[in-house]
Amino acid sequence: MNIYVLMKQVPVISDIKINHQTFTVDRSSVGTMMNPVDAHAISAAVALKKSLGGTVTVLSMGNESCETQLREAAGMGADRLVRITDDAFSGADTLVTAKVLAAAIKHLGDADCIFCGQASLDGSTGQIGAKLAALLGIGLLNNACQIDIEDKGLTIHQKAGNGYDVWQADFPLICSVTEDANELAPVTLKGKMAAKKAVISVLSNEDLHISAEDSHSPSHIEALFPASRQEVGMKITGSTEKESARKLADILFERHLI
Amino acid sequence: MGKFNDIWVFIEMSENEPKLVSLELLAKAKELASEAGSHAIPVICPDAANHSPETIINALKTAIEEAGPSALLFGSTPLGREVSAGLSAVMNLGIASDCTNVMYRASDADLLFIRPAFDGKLYASVSLDTTPQIGTFSMGIFPLKDDAPAIQANARTLNLSSDDSTVKARLVKFIEDAGLADSNIEEASILVAGGRGVGSAEGFDKLRELARLLGGNIAASRGAVDEGWISRDYQVGATGKTVTPKIYFACGISGAVPHVVGMKDSETIIAINTDPAAPIFDVAHYGIVGDLHKVISELIEILKQTH
């Protein structure tokens, strides 16, 4: 089985400072981490390898700093680590990112199964799974909260309102996972050694040959601005909480809200 | 400057009825079309549940190539997300997903999309330089002001292939689940939400009792979920669910932006917090500075007396 995982380095959102006069974002002191749900994608890939055999390759697009997270992936049981980087891909939106990842997978050897996280913490567009499925012409199992492995493919549960939709697809397929899909095991000592020793290969556009036209991002951020604030509401002040609660109840009854 | 053509709205049918989010988007598209001097066209996807996203993507692609709309709006439903993302990939189109607003720009004869950035700390205006421009929106972003628009006028119905031999992923079955039904907070008209200020899993029992008396449900901030007091299925916010109930009680929730983006469009927001400087009071319509346990207990007493 040729198993791939798409992993993304994300900023620690709480570190991001915003200048509310200029609406600029200061990322200078911002730490980075593995997109949390991606760890569950790696764990799903390792579980599939244990059942059906094969190799787990983790792909990440980014500069050298994302090698820290790729090493974490090795600690979790990934066999092969690949970082994809090129100035031509900087500022790539979801469309260009999906094209680059699709090209990288074709370059490295066709996938039997690809896992990714449901969405990234920083962009949270949740688009990559569906885009790769369309570009590679393979089945999509989206937002898996339970994964059952069969010889021919996977069956997943997906939350849908009052219950679960159960989807099945044969390999080759791509499966996006949620944090409910599996429990993360603590990294073993053997894993820590593997993370230290891991060799990370690097792919650039010299390997992938993506044309200038195809690396053009069609979406552009024109401006950033703060969330608008609602008009200040009414503070209800009683001498005790009991009195405040009564005043609130009176207002809600009067306005037929309850 | 090019001419702005039709705005298509993907109408997702569920048991022969259009989904509410589809109708909300159609009403919004009509507003945009009247500004742009074009038309809003409902694009009906019949019996969506029984067709694979690939079949729908192919039908949409054919229809788009034939008619050349300028924009295409989708509800951020599981199907809407899959179809819009796949269509964007196969037709090489830009997409603005999970937007909170959209406007017509006469200067460029196109749409400008607004979406949250940096986990909701800021908003970004996003332009797309490919046609049709694609945007996706959650239910409740554009609540219906009047009656639902008719979906038959000017409608176009997708011609979905019945040849399923190329379909790669299949919906096998639906399993009802009482736990998930209980946590279906997007459907609740009243939500009593708790944060770290609730203090314990037992603290949520009082919130649950108030919710039951009001015919609503409970919800939570990420803080309370991370403490393990309540299941993640109840989480509201950027990494949880987006809700727009008639009344949202925010109890012991500080009101950090990632939470607020998930509930700020609720009709009436009531905040209860011991910290008078908590940012939740900036978005609340009514605020009480005090101990939530005492306020909730009293509200429960009052409701018991009136029932």
DSSP of A7-35, one letter per residue?
Answer: --EEE-GGG-EEETTTTEEE-TT--EEE-
**Residue from the list A157, A223, A249 with its beta carbon closest to the beta carbon of B125:** A223
B19: number of CA atoms within 13 Å, CB side? 28
d(Cα A60, Cα A8) in Å, to the nearest integer?
Answer: 6
Mutation pick from A25, A96, A127 vs chain B, by most beta carbons of B within 10 Å, is: A127
Q: Is B178-306 a domain of CATH 3.40.50.300?
A: no
Confidence band for A140, pLDDT divided at 50, 70 and 90:
very high
The residue that leads in pLDDT, B143 or A44, is A44
Contacts of A91 in chain B (CB under 8 A): none
Contact B174 A244 (CB under 8 A): no
Contact B302 A249 (CB under 8 A): yes
Contact A134 B184 (CB under 8 A): no
Contact B128 A218 (CB under 8 A): yes
Domain segments of chain A as ranges:
2-208
How many residues does the structure list for chain B?
A: 307
Contacts of A258 in chain B (CB under 8 A): 190, 214, 247, 303
- ipTM (interface predicted TM): 0.87
- The secondary structure element, H or E, covering residue A116 is strand A113-117
Neighbours of B154 (CB within 10 A): 11
Average pLDDT on A208-224 reads 93
Average pLDDT on B275-287 reads 92
Contact B295 A244 (CB under 8 A): yes
- Which residues does B123 contact at the CB level (< 8 Å), separation at least 6? A224, A225, A226, A227, B100, B114, B115, B116, B117
Contacts of B79 in chain A (CB under 8 A): none
Please tell me the predicted confidence (pLDDT) of residue B144: 87
Contact A160 B78 (CB under 8 A): yes
Contact B299 A162 (CB under 8 A): no
Where is average pLDDT lowest: A23-32, B34-43, B60-69?
Answer: A23-32
Confidence band for B54, pLDDT divided at 50, 70 and 90:
confident
Q: Which residue, among B204, B225, B219, B213, has the nearest Cα to B270 in the 3D structure?
A: B219
Let me know: does A60 contact A69? Beta carbons within 8 Å: yes
Q: What is the pLDDT of residues B110-139, one digit of tens each?
A: 999 999 887 677 889 999 999 999 999 988
Count how many pairs of residues, chain A against chain B, have C-beta atoms within 8 Å: 243
Contact B121 A18 (CB under 8 A): yes
Contact B122 A226 (CB under 8 A): yes
Mutation pick from B93, B121, B251 vs chain A, by most beta carbons of A within 10 Å, is: B121
**Residue from the list A125, A142, A163 with its beta carbon closest to the beta carbon of B177:** A163
Mutation pick from A152, A248, A251, A254 vs chain B, by most beta carbons of B within 10 Å, is: A248
Structure tokens at B59: 């039908």
Q: How far does A72 lie from chain B, in Å, by closest CA?
A: 23
CATH number of B7-157: 3.40.50.620
**Residue from the list B57, B97, B303 with its beta carbon closest to the beta carbon of A127:** B97
The domain defined by A2-208 folds into Rossmann fold (3.40.50)
Q: What is the pLDDT of residues A14-45, one digit of tens each?
A: 777 777 677 677 777 789 999 999 999 999 99
Average pLDDT on B1-25 reads 90
Structure tokens at B138: 């959650």
Taking the alpha carbons of B41, B42, B46, B51 in that order, is the dihedral positive or negative? positive
d(Cα B291, Cα B269) in Å, to the nearest integer?
Answer: 17
Please tell me the predicted confidence (pLDDT) of residue A15: 76
Burial string for B176-201 (b: 16+ CB within 10 Å, else e) reads ebeebeebbbbebebbbbbbbbbbee
Q: Which residue, among A155, A195, A187, has the nearest Cα to A48 in the 3D structure?
A: A155
d(Cα A140, Cα A153) in Å, to the nearest integer?
Answer: 11
Average pLDDT on B77-88 reads 94
Contacts of B123 in chain A (CB under 8 A): 224-227
pTM: 0.87
Contact A94 B95 (CB under 8 A): yes
Pairing of strands B122-128, A219-226: antiparallel
For residue B165, pLDDT beyond 80 = no
For residue A46, pLDDT beyond 90 = yes
Contact B261 A227 (CB under 8 A): yes
